[in-house]
Amino acid sequence: MLKIAVYGKGGIGKSTLTSNLSAAFAYSGKKVIQIGCDPKADSTLNLLGGVPLESVMSYMRVHDEDPQSLAEISRRGYKNILCIETGGPTPGLGCAGRGIIATFALLEDLGLFETYCPDVVLYDVLGDVVCGGFAAPIREGYAEQVLIVTSGEKMALYAANNIAVAVQNFADRSYASVRGIILNRRNVPDEEKKVKAFSAQIGVPVIADIPRCDDINHSEEQGKTVIETNPFSSISQTFLQLATLLGKEA
């Protein structure tokens, strides 16, 4: 089972990249789970036709009890991808990180991986703060590999460096390692040069270069990934190639 956590600054495009990568794996015949680990609970929108999925934390608030089955907190999306959103606390109350920890414990109790037997699990994780629950995919062994999404913007690179440091802090415990950097272009000056310098600084390769592309925006307007809209487009081929690269190590 290939277990990957996708980290990056908020707004850098993690959810778009993660859902397109999930779709690429599924298009290639893999059995995929995507778990959104962000209080906004919007990671899986483009796998579900743009229809929001009730998050685990929202379910527990509404029903005032833990769900008794996976069916209550998940939904099948494109190519049968199993979608789950951890969600977060009521805005202004509680800790979103604790919500992730509670959700992961619940999924273990419900036997998620034993029941579904996935080939690939993707965690879409907020990377502005790498503490507590947001570090759970790294710290608790849920993920084996980390992908860092960044542009050449200063704050995106700052967050990316924090993520790399956080992963390194767990290296002696045989937890997840950083597999690669994904450059999600914003077309800022010297963008490629800046990201390559960061790559050299932390000793991690840039394994994918995602251009700004209208096809992505047009697909999202339909609540879809580019893989679903047109798997033969050049941008879809970029995601399929990335899935192939990562899948070779599964």
The yes-or-no answer on residue 9 being catalytic is yes
Please identify which of the residues 42, 66, 119, 128 carries the catalytic annotation.
Answer: 128
Please identify which of the residues 14, 79, 194, 224 carries the catalytic annotation.
Answer: 14
Distance CA 13, CA 6 (A): 10
The yes-or-no answer on residue 14 being catalytic is yes
* Alpha helices for 3-139 (secondary structure H): 14-27, 56-63, 96-109, 112-116, 136-139
Distance CA 154, CA 141 (A): 30
The closest of 4, 53, 44, 52 to 23, measured between CA atoms, is 44
β-pairing verdict for 75-76 and 82-85: antiparallel
| DSSP H or E stretch at residue 201 | helix 191-202
CB neighbour list of residue 76: distance below 8 Å, 6 or more residues apart: 82, 83
Distance CA 135, CA 101 (A): 9
Angle of helix 214-221 versus helix 234-247 axis, rounded to 10: 90
Please identify which of the residues 3, 9, 79, 194 carries the catalytic annotation.
Answer: 9
Q: How many CA atoms lie within 13 A of 182 on its CB side?
A: 27
Radius of gyration of the chain (CA): 17
Please identify which of the residues 31, 40, 119, 209 carries the catalytic annotation.
Answer: 40
The yes-or-no answer on residue 79 being catalytic is no
Angle of helix 14-27 versus helix 214-221 axis, rounded to 10: 80
Report yes or no: 120 and 112 within 8 Å, Cβ to Cβ. no
| DSSP H or E stretch at residue 216 | helix 214-221
| Catalytic (active-site) positions | 9, 14, 40, 128
